[in-house]
Structure 1
């Protein structure tokens, strides 16, 4: 099977992080993604030759962006493409002679994807930054962490990948749909600060309705409660509990032997949460992670063990679904989401060179 995006052609200007992630998602589902590498780049990732999951399923061509002949070759490629994705600072593509005015004149149906941290305009647009900075400015980082503690960033998932690459993939497909309807392409200005903000839409809902305190670790979904958090077990491992709804909470109380404790009947009493949290911590330290799994697996408690990167691919559920696959000796997440009618082809790490 070729995938749901068979027939889509995307030109990718090689970069790191969110741009490659967006193009990985498109390529995973059948798009022809041609990555423009600098001369001498390795076929799998870049100068160091290490394998990079984000660059899987590509075709590649090495072109010098300072060479007029290479720039002319790029313009020829773009004339036949549906979209491009570039991740340079604002103004760089214009200085190369590859800005939107030029490429949309060559190809009026082109979708011109621009991936940046701060966006194409605004006072911070020309400045450097990383995921941690973008999620900080969006307000999202302020919400992550324990009560009384410092903000804790979730690696670079929220800015680079959720609010960056995934949003770019959506933007490309939305603009391609529009272009195929109207015949007109456009620029997609994808800024990670915007993406981090929109990923927090539910938090803003709670905050706007007065049911979210503007501080960390004291709210329903940020570890403030005893029934939605992670807990250490007797063997130094961890479990996750998410028993929000009354029926799930009742099952948690039953399986932990707390159903007759009147204090734990105060599930939604925020004043009781700190004390109940400490008692719950002590409880989960009485058994190993595997012992808690034996008690809670297969129930509607909303429970799962916290698996390490080494453990996750071997879990029975992930094995059954094929959540992880392997190529060239490297374990990696499988393409997602699933398309039952046009499933994604098996991902390949090594890129295919073209002339």
Structure 2
């Protein structure tokens, strides 16, 4: 039984065996067109169908014993059916443009005849497409409401990343956030911690002997294994696990894995399909590669921290780990999935080098636009999107709360000025300099006259891009987020769901964050270790 069978998991589609390109090459030899398939052959031949009926070679006249053709019949052309037969064929053919193709495939000698259920599904698909539903291969299963596809409430489809096995060696925030998104999509993520303190996120801000909320938020839907990689036996275990894995993520300083004898070259030799993702502050190569750092350092070196803050004031440290999350979640997940998709067809993995500083700098689009336009960086708090114009900024209310005004478009600004009873401010829409400062002061005085509740009530029905600045506890109570599943309760606490919604996919947090090494026996057993071998590894303090 293969490795996948031992583990009892579905292999990630296409992760082994010939890829799509190889199958196309095998099917490259052109075949003669068959009746009912006219105009359907692709250039370079058609893909072979393992379940197709065998081809029937037409016998020559001599092979048929001199039998002559029927009058009016040419070689390779069907006899014209009688009038009644043509009428019956028309009645039996599925409706719609898709139905014609279905009937043609059914007549063709290279396709299986379709069942009545399949024909009905094609009819529904054709009807939905005519009504504006273009939902890929799921169009036949979706309802249409005003031309917008609506996902069914329940779906039998597997999770998008089911069968993808991920080894997670990361700690704290960046790497665990990346592997969390993969786990939430169905990947089998095995979190590996050392036998000492393990991931420090377990105790960061924890009360008493409880596991910290940070660890519980970032490590749901994962399994856990403790492993001492500094021991030869521990390194051997990781090699064995990597042999059957699709992805490995680590966040050590560049060079650490090589010194352990577990660098990319070694693991790729063990498993050429492996996607190896290394997340670090400054990347695997470059003058800063060996520097230590945290989110604030990455923001500072990328020129982004300088842009955050009010005009005339110092840079402001955001309470949001921009570099950690752009690097750990966005950049790493994008690179991993791109490399994993390529490995499906090529059979070869890749080294994914993620720099959190690069991740921040690569997104500094508007700051760069200001530099290109003026030859110097925009002043802090003085650009269009940093509070330098009256229509885009934060204004205080009478009770010390704040409103976020984002009326960048003229129509929104006009509606806001009208609702406030200040049509005279409409001319100052995108003004900077002294005129902009005057308009901002006037608008600030208007908002300071009443509390937040007054303004939210007044502007509730006005389409002008003005919203309250909520506190985090208020955001967690918002019905909108609860309805979409962005905020939910699991493991006895509030949790945050995935940042996207997929059709035919119901997210669930079925597995709480594991205790350290909770799944060691199961994971090693799936890798082929016998119970006595696992006991020995525990005895010598490898697991």
**TM-score, normalised to structure 2's length?**
0.62
Q: Judge which range, 295-304 or 214-223, deviates more.
A: 295-304
Which residue of the partner structure matches residue 265 of structure 1? Answer: 427
Asked if the contact 2:370–2:378 (Cα under 8 Å) also holds between the matched residues in 1, the reply is no
Q: CA deviation at 1:57?
A: 1.4
Which residue of the partner structure matches residue 188 of structure 2? Answer: 32
Q: Helix, strand or coil: the match of 1:310? A: helix
Q: Helix, strand or coil: the match of 1:152? A: coil
Q: CA deviation at 1:44?
A: 11
Which residue of the partner structure matches residue 469 of structure 2? Answer: 306
Asked if the contact 2:230–2:260 (Cα under 8 Å) also holds between the matched residues in 1, the reply is yes
**Match for 2:359 among 171, 195, 220?**
195
**Match for 2:512 among 346, 349, 353?**
349
Q: CA deviation at 1:171?
A: 0.9
Deviations 1:277-316 (A, max 9, x none): 1111111111111111111224321122111111111123
Asked if the contact 2:279–2:327 (Cα under 8 Å) also holds between the matched residues in 1, the reply is no
- Please say if 1:104 is aligned against 2:268: yes
Which residue of the partner structure matches residue 122 of structure 1? Answer: 286
Pairing of 1:176-255 with structure 2 (within 5 A):
176-210=340-374, 214-255=378-419
Which residue of the partner structure matches residue 41 of structure 2? Answer: none
Which residue of the partner structure matches residue 499 of structure 2? Answer: 336
- Please say if 1:295 is aligned against 2:454: no
Distance 1:114 1:212, change over 3 A: same
Asked if the contact 2:279–2:332 (Cα under 8 Å) also holds between the matched residues in 1, the reply is yes
Deviations 1:208-256 (A, max 9, x none): 2349852211111011122111121111111211000011111111111
Distance 1:226 1:33, change over 3 A: same
Distance 1:123 1:285, change over 3 A: same
Deviations 1:257-276 (A, max 9, x none): 112x1x44121221311111
Count, aligned residues: 353
- Please say if 1:316 is aligned against 2:482: no
Query: Which aligned runs of 4 or more in structure 1 are off by greater than 4 angstroms?
Result: 40-45
Asked if the contact 1:146–1:216 (Cα under 8 Å) also holds between the matched residues in 2, the reply is yes
In structure 2, distance between residues paired with 1:174 and 1:210: 37
**TM-score, normalised to structure 1's length?**
0.93
Q: Judge which range, 330-339 or 103-112, deviates more.
A: 330-339
Q: CA deviation at 1:163?
A: 3.4
Q: Unpaired segments of 5 or more residues in structure 1? A: none
Deviations 1:15-45 (A, max 9, x none): 1111111111111111111000122668995
Q: CA deviation at 1:206?
A: 4.1
Which residue of the partner structure matches residue 148 of structure 1? Answer: 312
The structure with the largest alpha-carbon Rg is 2
- Please say if 1:278 is aligned against 2:441: yes
In structure 1, distance between residues paired with 2:509 and 2:460: 31
Pairing of 1:65-104 with structure 2 (within 5 A):
65-104=229-268
In structure 2, distance between residues paired with 1:211 and 1:27: 45
Distance 1:237 1:170, change over 3 A: same
In structure 2, distance between residues paired with 1:81 and 1:205: 42
Q: Judge which range, 293-302 or 89-98, deviates more.
A: 293-302
Distance 1:299 1:181, change over 3 A: farther
In structure 1, distance between residues paired with 2:493 and 2:249: 26
Distance 1:43 1:168, change over 3 A: closer
Q: Helix, strand or coil: the match of 1:6? A: coil
Q: Judge which range, 104-113 or 289-298, deviates more.
A: 289-298
Q: Unpaired segments of 5 or more residues in structure 2? A: 1-156, 522-543
**Match for 1:15 among 167, 171, 192?**
171
Distance 1:239 1:3, change over 3 A: farther
In structure 1, distance between residues paired with 2:520 and 2:496: 26
